[in-house]
């Protein structure tokens, strides 16, 4: 990334104090103040320049401005909703109710004006992946049978965010039933990548990532079983954090496999990721930056760096040089037996569990339909996958014996291997390019060309993120540059299980070294 790009990105991501105050004040003045707007059905349109300044605020800065009254929650919500409407063609949302969002924003303003305590997410509209239960909105899972389905209550994570002062900014589009990496949803339409609408945003949390990248909101909720937070973050040029498995609640989330399922945030700044973690984990201690000098990062070129697209390889190499320049230590070491262990813990665990866990979800949440009915009404691509790999009697149906061996023998062995790897390398994190390629075109879901080679889509998108999913490691995805085709490239940093706060502290410093990528040209 050039110096000019770095300067442009920094300006977009981090307004100076003077610009922030002036921009926030302009947002307030354009709407005429809290009291005069309380009874209005919608805020008056803000001047274009002040709206842009609102859209560029991080969640941390927007919340700070709303808490002081420099920016009203209604004006901020209005700016985000205008952005959502203007970029509707990206198809980032399945459900969006502007009147409900504005009503809750006005209530946040009234609470602040009355002197009532404000929460750490006061007034912040947050898009939520449409696989997490919400009482105010339907939860479809992106599948036809659940269109209009209203769960009885918010998922605990959603309830925690709302109790902290957040507002649900609609439900975001996703790969149907979270069963894929493209978000090319045949039931609700494909989500489009803001950097190039002919490209996928990644999946399954593609709608959340697209919304964050396109400045429809600064911070959103995603969910990850086998890369569904990290792949969209990588392909859309935003940050994504999959915490150690079970760090945040996954109750009330449409499941795939509870051994691997994990909710988490996507955002444009590390401060916002850290804020989300503090609220979601219930640990409100500050998270400060950890200097990188002397910190050890491990990699294995024989796995994570094989068959990279030349531009991904170039940008990754530049990122490694930046880390070395600030005193970080790069340790190269093989992960013994990794390929074999991954083969024996592959999709068979998810393919076994998804049927049983979806049956349980439907029953517990009163969906009033069976698993068989859910699948029968699914889109053709999802029905085909389930017919081949999930349903009893199918060619790929996983026997109990095979499942037991995978879960009780190979999965513990894989997790011990990574525990030993961290001990051997003394690394704070493993680093690697998140995907082998930049965002493929919508519809290119079989083979991809990398140089003169043909690589399967699943390998190009899913190979590198697979170990972290199956071992339950905390994984942080950070954009590292823009390829010659104008699409983002990112790196992932996976830390030892349970070291989430340390990884986030490192992330705050990594952000300063790696910088930000320019916003999408939309």
**Tens place of pLDDT per residue across the chain (522 aa):** 433 343 333 333 333 333 333 344 344 333 322 222 333 344 444 455 577 899 999 999 999 999 999 999 999 999 999 999 999 999 999 999 999 999 999 999 999 999 999 999 999 999 999 999 999 999 999 999 999 999 999 999 999 999 999 999 999 999 999 999 999 999 999 999 999 999 999 999 999 999 999 999 999 999 999 999 999 999 999 999 999 999 999 999 999 999 999 999 999 999 999 999 999 999 999 999 999 999 999 999 999 999 999 999 999 999 999 999 999 999 999 999 999 999 999 889 999 999 999 999 999 999 999 999 999 999 999 999 999 999 999 999 999 999 999 999 999 999 999 999 999 999 999 999 999 999 999 999 999 999 889 999 999 999 999 999 999 999 999 999 999 999 999 999 999 999 999 999 999 999 999 999 999 998
Cβ distance 141 to 218 under 8 Å? no
Cβ distance 453 to 306 under 8 Å? no
Catalytic residue among 30, 129, 469, 519: 129
Percent of the chain at pLDDT > 90 equals 89
Instruction: Classify domain 3-345+400-514 at the CATH class level.
Output: alpha beta
* pLDDT 10s digits, 99-146: 999 999 999 999 999 999 999 999 999 999 999 999 999 999 999 999
Q: How far apart are CA 240 and CA 238, in angstroms?
A: 7
Give the CA angle between residues 439, 225, 497 to the nearest 5°: 110
Q: Match 């209203």 to its residue by tokens.
A: 150
Q: What is the dihedral of CA 119, 125, 126, 128, to 10 degrees?
A: 120
- Mean per-residue pLDDT over the chain, rounded: 92
Residues 6+ apart with CB under 8 A from 404: none
Q: How far apart are CA 48 and CA 500, in angstroms?
A: 39
Cβ distance 187 to 176 under 8 Å? yes
Closest CA to 488 of 452, 515, 470: 515
Q: Rounded to two decimals, what is the model's pTM? A: 0.91
Residues found in the chain:
522
Tokens matching residue 345: 């813990």
Known catalytic residue at 204: yes
Helix (H) / strand (E) element for 491: namely strand 488-494
Contacts 24+ apart (CB under 8 A), 27-33: 27/51, 27/53, 27/54, 27/71, 27/72, 27/75, 27/76, 27/79, 28/69, 28/70, 28/71, 28/72, 28/75, 30/75, 31/72, 31/74, 31/75, 31/78, 33/72
Is-cis flag, bond preceding 511, omega within 30? no
Q: How far apart are CA 188 and CA 229, in angstroms?
A: 20
The conformation of residue 408, written as its DSSP 8-state character, comes to I
Q: How far apart are CA 514 and CA 297, in angstroms?
A: 15
Tokens matching residue 159: 């309830």
Helix (H) / strand (E) element for 108: namely helix 98-114
Tokens matching residue 135: 């009482």
Q: Is 481 helix (H, G, I), strand (E, B) or coil?
A: strand
Catalytic residue among 131, 140, 228, 490: 228
Q: What ranges do the domains of the chain cover?
A: 3-345+400-514
Strands 429-433 and 296-299: parallel
Residues 6+ apart with CB under 8 A from 304: 430, 432, 433, 464
Q: Is 410 helix (H, G, I), strand (E, B) or coil?
A: helix
Q: How far apart are CA 250 and CA 236, in angstroms?
A: 24
* pLDDT 10s digits, 345-393: 988 999 999 999 999 999 999 999 999 999 999 999 999 999 999 999 9
Catalytic residue among 58, 140, 183, 204: 204
Q: How far apart are CA 187 and CA 144, in angstroms?
A: 6
Closest CA to 29 of 50, 57, 53: 50
Q: Is 291 helix (H, G, I), strand (E, B) or coil?
A: coil
Q: How far apart are CA 79 and CA 74, in angstroms?
A: 9
Distance between start and end Cα atoms, the chain: 19
Q: How far apart are CA 65 and CA 61, in angstroms?
A: 6
Give the CA angle between residues 412, 417, 418 to the nearest 5°: 105
Closest CA to 445 of 260, 210, 256, 175: 175
Q: How far apart are CA 235 and CA 437, in angstroms?
A: 9
Residues 6+ apart with CB under 8 A from 366: 151, 152
């Amino acid at each position: 990334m050039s110096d000019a790009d770095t300067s442009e990105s920094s300006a977009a991501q981090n307004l100076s104090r003077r610009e922030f105050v002036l921009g926030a004040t302009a947002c307030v003045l354009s709407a005429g103040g809290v009291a005069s707007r309380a009874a209005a059905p919608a805020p008056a349109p803000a001047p274009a320049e002040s709206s842009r300044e609102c859209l560029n605020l991080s969640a941390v800065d927007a919340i700070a401005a709303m808490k002081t009254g420099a920016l009203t929650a209604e004006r901020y919500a209005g700016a985000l909703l205008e952005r959502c409407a203007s970029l509707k063609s990206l198809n980032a949302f399945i459900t969006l109710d502007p009147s409900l969002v504005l009503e809750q924003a006005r209530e946040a303003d009234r609470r602040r004006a009355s002197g009532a305590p404000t929460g750490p997410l006061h007034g912040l509209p947050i898009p939520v992946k449409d696989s997490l239960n919400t009482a105010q909105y339907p939860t479809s899972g992106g599948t036809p049978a659940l269109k209009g389905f209203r769960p009885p209550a918010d998922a605990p994570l959603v309830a925690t965010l709302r109790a902290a002062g957040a507002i649900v900014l609609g439900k975001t589009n996703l790969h149907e039933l979270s069963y894929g990496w493209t978000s090319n949803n045949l039931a609700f339409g494909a989500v489009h990548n803001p950097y190039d609408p002919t490209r996928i945003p990644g999946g399954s949390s593609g709608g959340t990532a697209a919304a964050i990248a396109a400045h429809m909101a600064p911070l959103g909720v995603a969910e990850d079983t086998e890369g569904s937070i990290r792949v969209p973050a990588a392909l859309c040029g935003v940050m994504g954090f999959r915490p150690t498995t079970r760090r945040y609640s996954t109750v009330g989330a449409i499941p795939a496999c509870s051994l691997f399922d994990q909710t988490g945030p996507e955002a444009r700044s590390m401060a916002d990721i850290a804020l989300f973690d503090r609220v979601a984990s219930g640990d409100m201690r500050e998270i400060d930056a950890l200097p990188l000098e002397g910190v050890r990062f491990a990699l294995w070129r024989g796995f994570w760096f094989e068959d990279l697209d030349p531009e991904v390889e170039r940008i990754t190499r530049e990122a490694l040089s930046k880390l070395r320049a600030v005193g970080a230590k790069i340790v190269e070491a093989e992960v013994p037996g990794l390929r074999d262990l991954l083969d024996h813990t592959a999709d068979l665990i998810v393919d076994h569990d998804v049927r049983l866990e979806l049956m349980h979800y439907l029953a517990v949440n009163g969906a009033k339909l069976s698993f068989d009915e859910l699948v029968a009404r699914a889109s053709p691509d999802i029905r085909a996958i389930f017919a081949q790999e999930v349903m009893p009697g199918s060619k790929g149906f996983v026997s109990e014996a095979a499942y037991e061996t995978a879960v009780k023998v190979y999965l513990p062995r894989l997790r011990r291997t990574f525990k030993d790897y961290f001990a051997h390398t003394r690394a704070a994190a493993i680093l690697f390019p998140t995907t082998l390629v930049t965002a493929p075109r919508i519809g290119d879901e079989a083979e991809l060309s990398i140089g003169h080679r043909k690589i399967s889509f699943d390998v190009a998108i899913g190979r590198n993120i697979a170990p972290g999913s199956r071992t339950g490691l905390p994984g942080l995805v950070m954009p590292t540059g823009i390829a010659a085709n104008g699409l983002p490239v990112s790196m992932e940093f996976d830390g030892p299980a349970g070291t989430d706060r340390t990884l986030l502290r490192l992330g705050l410093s990594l952000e300063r070294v790696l910088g930000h990528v320019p916003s999408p040209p939309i």
